[in-house]
Amino acid sequence: METAQKTERQHPVGGSEAEAIIEVRGLTKRYGGDTVVKGIDFDVKRGEIFGLLGPNGAGKTTTMEMIEGLRRPDDGYARVAGYDTRSQLAKVKEVIGVQLQATSLFDLLTVREITRMYASFYNTPTVPIEPLLESMILGDKLNGRVKHLSGGQKQRLAIALAIVHSPQVVFLDEPTTGLDPQARRTLWDIVLRLRDEGKTIVLSTHYMDEARILADRICLMDQGKIVALDTPANLISSLASESAIEFRLPAGDHAAGADHPSAERLAERLETIDGVRRIEFRKESWVLYTDALQRSLTGLIAFAEQEGLALTDLQTRTATLEDVFIQMTGRSLREE
């Protein structure tokens, strides 16, 4: 099934010249003594899918909701289509559509009723409701109550409500969290279709595969700061090493853990293997990053033979966004 295939698109003006529909400058949010968004700057270009990728608590939701005008920035500003989110909020609301991370709808209304209700909130012309819901694969649920929808159907309804007034910019906050793989793929297709229809999409996620598949550009966030911002391909190739070799050592064997006294010595010697650029130890696995996979692998096996180490779970893979994140922050993107 050829779903969720991103078609490579040329931006109309190309590269950094493309028009910025969202402009974020020095955006800051504090809660009590904590600064949870720390003066970030970025632009979102018209017509792109802009992915905010980061672990839970990175500040993705806070950032999006400051742009949507739902939270007041303590410093800095955001502009959408030229309108300031604080002083021209009414204008901003007409051009954006949002799907909030934590939202529920009136359970006892039908899909059609709630869509019609949301459509009535806008002064601008809205799209015909039935074709809209059909395009969200809810055509057979028009008269079904919201309560009886599945998780994926609810998310698709939330997206329908976000685009009922044909907004220029759509904000999707973790739209696939908690969905099964099938429902995620369906949703990805919908998001890509919206982009192809010309909408600008700001999407947050903590799934790197989702960001890689959907986003034209990824803004990697951690602890309220932007760690990196580029296309997925550029982010990954920015890693000097392009492949990773992972393996485990049996417990009890020397250097089974990073805190083992001999671990440091082991790491030093692993680093001397041909082609190895960097070494990580995480989740009980050793990871060697290399720009010469075959030579490093041969070297590793020779080294293991020589030292009498029994390598288990040996595997190689290409570097991922996860590796980029670890390199930038020293921490894993996934939840522990």
Partner 1 sequence: MKPYIQLTLAQLRLFGRNRQVLFWTLFFPVVFIFMLGTFMGNGSGGAVEGYWIDEDGSERSAQVLAALEEQKAVLKLEQAKDREAALEELRHGTKQVLIIIPAGFGDTVEAAVTGQHSGVSDSPAGSLTVYYDQTQASKSMSALNAAAQAADEVSKAVVEYSPVVAVEPVGVQSLNLTFLDFIVPGIVAMMIMSNNLNGVAGQIASWRERGILRRMQSTPLRPSTFIAAQITARLLMNGSQALIVLLLGIFVFGAQMNGSWLLLLGFVLLGTLAFMAIGFIIAGLARTPESAGPIAGFVSFPLLFLGGIFFPVSDMPAFMQPIVKAIPITHLSTGLRQVMNVGAGIGEVWVEALVLGGWLAAAFIAASLVFKWE
Ligand X SMILES: Nc1ncnc2c1ncn2[C@@H]1O[C@H](COP(=O)(O)OP(=O)(O)O)[C@@H](O)[C@H]1O
- CA end-to-end span of the chain, whole Å? 32
Least Cβ distance, residue 26 to ligand X (angstroms): 17
- Which residue in the set 88, 101, 166, 231 belongs to the binding site for Mg ion (CB under 5 A)? 101
For partner 1, the closer of residues 68 and 222 by Cβ is: 68
Residues 260-289 close enough to bind Mg ion by CB under 5 A: none
Longest dimension (CA), the chain: 75
Q: Which is nearer to partner 1, 199 or 212 (CB)?
A: 199
61 binds Mg ion (CB under 5 A): yes
Q: How many residues does the chain have?
A: 336
48 vs 68, beta carbon nearer partner 1? 68
Among 109, 121, 197, 96, residue whose Cα is nearest residue 147: 109
Select the binding partner of residue 58 from ligand X, partner 1, Mg ion, none (C-beta < 5 to 8 A, by kind): ligand X
Nearer residue to ligand X within complex by CB, 132 or 208: 208
Report in angstroms how near the CB of residue 60 gets to ligand X at its nearest.
3
What are the φ and ψ backbone dihedral angles of 245, each rounded to 5 degrees?
-115, 125
- The distance of closest approach from Cβ of residue 34 to ligand X in the complex, given in angstroms and rounded to an integer, is 7
The option from Mg ion, ligand X, partner 1, none interacting with 172 (CB < 5 to 8 A, set by class) reads: none
Contacted by 1, from partner 1, ligand X, Mg ion, none: CB < 5 to 8 Å by type = none
Partner interacting with residue 59 (select from partner 1, ligand X, Mg ion, none; CB below 5-8 Å by kind): ligand X
Contact (CB, 8 A) for 91 and 134? no
Smallest CA-to-CA distance from 257 within 269, 246, 266, 244 is with 266
- The residues of the shown chain that bind partner 1, judged by CB under 8 A, are 68-70, 90, 93-94, 96, 98, 100, 102-106, 108-109, 113-114, 116-118, 120-123, 161
306 burial (CB, 10 Å; 0-12 / 13-18 / 19+) is exposed
The phi-psi region of residue 16 (left if phi > 0; otherwise alpha if psi is between -120 and 50; otherwise beta) is alpha
**Cβ–Cβ < 8 Å for 38, 185:** no
Binding partner at 36 among Mg ion, ligand X, partner 1, none, C-beta below 5 to 8 Å by kind: ligand X
> With b meaning 16 or more CB within 10 Å and e meaning fewer, what string describes 269-281?
ebeebebbebbbb
Q: Which residues contact ligand X (rule: CB under 6 A)?
A: 31, 36, 54, 56-62
Q: Which residues contact Mg ion (rule: CB under 5 A)?
A: 60-61, 101
